[in-house]
Amino acid sequence: MSYIIALSGSHGTGKTTDTFRQATIQKTLHPSKTIAVIPEQASLSLYPINKQGTRSGQLWIFTRQIEQELEYLGKFDIVISDRTAVDSIAYTYVAGFYELAGSMLSLVQNHTKVYRKIIFKRIVDNNFCYEDGARESSDAVFRQAVEDQMLLLYRIIFKDYLSSIMEFR
């Protein structure tokens, strides 16, 4: 059965680098399995992201993430994802689109069964936030608000088995 190993955390914590590292590790451990990487969807968005995020942009990122996860799960044995659908909900909450975030949360609670492991990259241990044109927000307060919201959402969604699915780095 196919599954996803996802990297999660606020922007600028080294998730993309670790996503490719994780793909290499998985291919080494499982040479006969097909492995694929889902790139971060927010950086592909035509809408503004982070502090300038719009309702339409947040909805696009969320639906695109789930679409990519479902598509890759149908084609590959192990999928390494640079983010989870939960990440986009956290950004949506922090952007102030509470009703939309609530709707996303209702939808994602069943979908999260596809995640075998979530590697959460904390800001305090992983400061790789650089202005790169896509992630314009190096605002420490904003980044921390996103991280705090993500952790709250994971506690809500995974309740009793959070420690068995999430690894902190």
* Mean residue pLDDT across the chain: 92
82 pLDDT band, cuts 50/70/90, is very high
Q: What is the share, in percent, of the chain residues with pLDDT greater than 70? A: 95
Q: Whole-prediction pTM value?
A: 0.91
Residue 91: enclosing H or E segment and its boundaries?
helix 85-94
Q: Is the dihedral of CA 157, 109, 161, 67 positive or negative?
A: negative
Question: Per-residue pLDDT for 128 more than 80?
Answer: no
pLDDT digits 0-9 by tens, 129-149: 666 555 556 778 999 999 999
**Mean pLDDT on 42-70:** 91
pLDDT digits 0-9 by tens, 92-116: 999 999 999 999 999 998 899 999 9
- The DSSP bridge partners found for residue 80 are 5, 37
d(CA 121, CA 113): 20
Q: CA dist 85 to 29, 30, 44, Å?
A: 26, 25, 15
Tokens of 151: 């952790």
Taking CA 121 as the corner, what is the angle to CA 33 and CA 27, rounded to the nearest 5 degrees?
Answer: 15
Q: In this predicted structure, what is the pLDDT of residue 127? A: 75
Q: In this predicted structure, what is the pLDDT of residue 118? A: 97
d(CA 9, CA 75): 26
Alpha helices in 35-79 (DSSP H): 55-73
Q: What one-letter code names the amino acid at 96?
A: G
Least confident of 48-57, 134-143, 152-161: 134-143
Domains and CATH numbers, the chain: 3-168 (3.40.50.300)
Residue 111: enclosing H or E segment and its boundaries?
helix 98-111
